[in-house]
Structure 1
């Protein structure tokens, strides 16, 4: 027997999975936690190729791929453009930011992303005041048109709720404030911009449900407040140091106080989901970045997870510039930051307290008014969009 054959038999004998078919191996890997699947990629060339194969990646968990964002340049036509940057900062964009597979609209704005689905507001050519909501999956190029409400053209905060592990159906949440609602001036109260009504569209029922807010439950939401949808509950950071939670019918469940004073529309004070827990990022007195985790959900008790001064975080080069915490990594103790005039995208590893440069998005990476709503995207390759065309 040749020496080469003995070596092959030895390798085969040392790998108990060698005799498993690809389909069975993928089924096994799909049932382990995400952190373990990352290690699986390093086992062998065969295992690595399983993750990238189109027939198998539908079953395997995916991680953060990158960010959608908009840029504004008054010397360009159109003045506003949409971009996608990979989380690695290298290579061609993982997703075509034009979303060319969607129907032709005069303009399109990405409002939210939830577990692989995008919520878009699409303005029609025929009437500049007429629009559709479109929920789509860029990974499969499937999409669904959601009819607007009477307030959709004026509403500033609309969010998406979707959990493919529970259902292939989704919910669209529309927050109608007092200005859009048309509240009379003498009936306005101290909570400026308060939400008068929450409208929720269910893709399963195919209709909008409307729920008026009570006078004793006043809250207002910053335009670019992040939303977190888990356990079939929508969470948003609101003004006056609170997180509001709503069920899929639009009813306010409870209000959770934030662990640090927020600065109105500051994007440094926001909520994120990481490792299956709600996190809060805050800039304390403009001198340090604090990260909190909601350890006791029922009591609304936050625990300080990480704290670092701005000078330690950025050093001399960036310490004087504004920055935004745009996302947490879904499975790692890592946050993503955009900082400075050139909109430098960086990641920060909390465990080793190290900041890593990813890419410079450039001065064009800012919309004309306010801060850019950088939208994190985790691809969903399974056919989990109910009632698609």
Structure 2
């Protein structure tokens, strides 16, 4: 992949060293649908690409540390149309040559990557852009581009063609997926939503979304809220706020706001219905207009959304009914209790909160709690009686500390906990490690993601060295009396049953499940979608997709039930089974072993080869694995 940069243009905001901002972006004069005809793109792009950039906290990026933002994209070698944005980076389409050229750029650092041309050109396509990573530099980020188009739609099924670009491979790949229901993909109703690594495109009918899961390569339809007969949608938007999918639609009389409470069941709940007439009466400083353009939800405040009235952007708080001009709203107004309707802080008289501690809005501190001088508590955090936040500790929004929970340590180091986490009764998180190589005074770290639940009497330790850190991802359930030692790396969506013990430097990938009283030896690597039976002692790496159990854990076969629950299709399971059988037959663990297997398996098992190399196979393990990997007809129906 070619990387180009204007001379001297690689300006990096090194002083901030923070995550790139979110670009909510009001993309003016920019078509949502991208045409393969450059003359059509130029006709739609009559002005330079202007957008309203907003960072994660809601501030206008035209001032402050992001003041060097180049919103005209003058550093690009040619004029460009903004297609999508993600994690502070923009996906653009240039008009330099007849065929389509895509460019990924960072308007803060002024870096850009010219991408190779896709294999297929469509009159119009719906494009999704996913960018991940924490670096300021574009070279440290990973991104994917998905170009979607309906190839054929019949009464019972629809074929969706996808062109996928990955920054890891630097190449475009083609996919053709079949959905069991007919649908029409819209390229004009707004950019697709990317939520939890799943992409949601819009349909023409306003009745459903098209859900595409890249992990499972599966396309499904998700219904949108039903509307009344007299409700004619003039403008709508699907987005996310505070970790939930939200949907808003407006006509000339009303604005409705919905929240998707259960993604699997498709259950929507209406949170607000606002009269358009009452909105303008509440804000006489705003000129009344017929058309209301719904642009974005605020990522950290469900009560705020960005709308346009006669082309002018406003923040609208649909609880207070107040409209504020985009460039007139500052951070303090936006998150004050009068503007958002959140409760003021409650601190019990018996609690001890240091005056230097930083507390967000709506924080509740119960009796006999302590908050240290270096602590930072996000909005709506709740500390139940007898809980303590010590040392250099930062809690994200909506975190809960149950009775007796202790987070952080007065020793040098940092404990960073994301949003919507629950720390159970008498759990201890972010304290000094139990490792003899730890040197007193060393700064050690613990980082926890979002939506985790750490139950009663669990313990999570900081790293043992300054250049390492203990890390836990998102959406993990860590049950009672579990222990996660120093320098462990835990991924996402894992379940650790009671008394699961992880020694130092253990790596656990995603979607793993351990039964009770599991012990994992230090430096072990546990692959994704694996299962460890109760009472097992794991002293070797566990390959992906397998089950292990025993006093000295041995392989017991593929984790068929776990794969079924995670939505793996039958062909994926058969390919995994074929791969494992081939490994057992050859007993030679090298790259050539996979030559006869579909390339999709290579994507499914990028790390599995390494895990198999390090695993020693007792004869009993080979017997069990051969028995379970030879899938028979009795096992196949569970995947339909």
Band the TM-score falls in, shorter-chain normalisation: 0.5 to 0.7
Q: Which position in structure 1 is the counterpart of 2:326?
A: 358
* TM-superposed deviation, 1:190: 7.3
Q: Which position in structure 1 is the counterpart of 2:308?
A: 338
CA change 1:218–1:164 in 2 (3 A) is farther
Q: Which position in structure 1 is the counterpart of 2:81?
A: 109
Q: Is the 8 A contact 2:154 2:182 kept in 1?
A: no
* TM-superposed deviation, 1:339: 1.5
Q: Is the 8 A contact 1:155 1:174 kept in 2?
A: no
* TM-superposed deviation, 1:279: 0.6
Q: Is 1:214–2:178 an aligned residue pair?
A: yes
Q: Which position in structure 2 is the counterpart of 1:280?
A: 247
1:99 to 52, 73, 97: 73
Rounded to whole Å, the distance in 1 between the matches of 2:234 and 2:119 is 29
CA change 1:249–1:153 in 2 (3 A) is farther
Q: Is 1:348–2:294 an aligned residue pair?
A: no
SS in 1 for 2:277: helix
Rounded to whole Å, the distance in 1 between the matches of 2:256 and 2:203 is 18
Q: Which moved more, 1:302-311 or 1:317-326?
A: 317-326
Rounded to whole Å, the distance in 2 between the matches of 1:108 and 1:231 is 29
* TM-superposed deviation, 1:113: 0.5
Larger RCO (alpha carbons 8 Å, 6+ apart): 1
CA shift digits 1:71-110 (9 cap, x unpaired): 79xxx9x8333223466789678732321222x22x3111
Q: Which position in structure 1 is the counterpart of 2:376?
A: none
SS in 1 for 2:278: helix
2:94 to 98, 101, 122: 122
Q: Which position in structure 1 is the counterpart of 2:263?
A: 297
Rounded to whole Å, the distance in 2 between the matches of 1:277 and 1:320 is 30
Q: Is the 8 A contact 2:147 2:163 kept in 1?
A: yes
Aligned residues: 285
SS in 1 for 2:124: coil
Q: Which position in structure 1 is the counterpart of 2:146?
A: 173
Rounded to whole Å, the distance in 1 between the matches of 2:188 and 2:228 is 15
Q: Which position in structure 2 is the counterpart of 1:369?
A: none
Q: Is the 8 A contact 2:235 2:249 kept in 1?
A: yes
SS in 1 for 2:280: helix
Rounded to whole Å, the distance in 2 between the matches of 1:286 and 1:110 is 29
How does 1:233-382 map onto structure 2 within 5 Å?
233-240=198-205, 241-248=207-214, 251-261=217-227, 268-283=235-250, 286-315=252-281, 320-332=289-301, 333-340=303-310, 343-358=311-326
How does 1:123-162 map onto structure 2 within 5 Å?
123-124=95-96, 127=97, 129-152=98-121, 154-162=123-131
* TM-superposed deviation, 1:134: 0.7
Rounded to whole Å, the distance in 2 between the matches of 1:261 and 1:330 is 25
Q: Which position in structure 2 is the counterpart of 1:163?
A: 132
Q: Is 1:80–2:39 an aligned residue pair?
A: no
* TM-superposed deviation, 1:56: 4.7
Rounded to whole Å, the distance in 2 between the matches of 1:68 and 1:229 is 18
SS in 2 for 1:161: strand
SS in 2 for 1:81: coil
CA change 1:212–1:267 in 2 (3 A) is farther
How does 1:19-38 map onto structure 2 within 5 Å?
none
Q: Is the 8 A contact 2:259 2:271 kept in 1?
A: yes
How does 1:222-237 map onto structure 2 within 5 Å?
222-237=187-202
Q: Is 1:59–2:18 an aligned residue pair?
A: yes
SS in 2 for 1:213: strand
Rounded to whole Å, the distance in 2 between the matches of 1:65 and 1:216 is 34
CA change 1:291–1:90 in 2 (3 A) is same
* TM-superposed deviation, 1:203: 1.1
Rounded to whole Å, the distance in 2 between the matches of 1:153 and 1:307 is 39
* TM-superposed deviation, 1:239: 2.4
Q: Is the 8 A contact 2:20 2:87 kept in 1?
A: no
Q: Is the 8 A contact 1:110 1:118 kept in 2?
A: yes
* TM-superposed deviation, 1:172: 0.4
Rounded to whole Å, the distance in 2 between the matches of 1:286 and 1:118 is 33
When you count strand as a share of all residues, which structure comes out higher? 1
Larger Rg: 2
TM-score (norm 2): 0.40
Q: Which position in structure 2 is the counterpart of 1:18?
A: none
Rounded to whole Å, the distance in 2 between the matches of 1:327 and 1:147 is 31
Unpaired stretches in structure 2, ≥5 consecutive residues: 1-11, 32-42, 329-640
CA change 1:170–1:71 in 2 (3 A) is closer
Q: Which moved more, 1:93-102 or 1:321-330?
A: 93-102
Unpaired stretches in structure 1, ≥5 consecutive residues: 1-52, 361-389
Rounded to whole Å, the distance in 2 between the matches of 1:297 and 1:272 is 14
Rounded to whole Å, the distance in 1 between the matches of 2:30 and 2:21 is 27
Q: Is the 8 A contact 1:176 1:197 kept in 2?
A: yes
CA shift digits 1:28-73 (9 cap, x unpaired): xxxxxxxxxxxxxxxxxxxxxxxxx94452236746675342279x
